[in-house]
Amino acid sequence: MNTEAIAKDLDVKGLNCPLPILRAKKALTDMTSGQVLRVVATDPGSVKDFAAFCKQTGNTLLSSADNGKEFTFVISKR
């Protein structure tokens, strides 16, 4: 995915559950349908949390990546 498609970046590094999800939810409320949010987190639990969050809310998890230190999620707003 190219970075031009990213409408908003959210840095939630250092925050633990449920804060990364709550911050992402808040960021998505300010966005329009189809816009893309990139979230960078350090909480290992965020992998399962973001997958479940997207499934429950109808947003699309376009990608998730793990570089060993950080987890990056790219979400398209429904």
The contacts of residue 53 (CB under 8 Å, 6+ apart) are 21, 24, 25, 59
Q: Active-site residue 54, yes or no?
A: no
pLDDT for res 27: 98
Domains of the chain as residue ranges with CATH: 3-76 (3.30.110.40)
The whole-chain average pLDDT of the chain stands at 95
The contacts of residue 3 (CB under 8 Å, 6+ apart) are none
CA distance 18 to 49: 8
pTM for this prediction? 0.93
pLDDT digits 0-9 by tens, 33-46: 999 999 999 999 99
Q: Quick check: 62 and 36 in contact, CB under 8 A?
A: yes
Looking at the predicted structure, is the pLDDT value of residue 3 above 80? no
Looking at the predicted structure, is the pLDDT value of residue 1 above 90? no
Q: State the catalytic residue, choosing from 7, 10, 15, 17.
A: 17
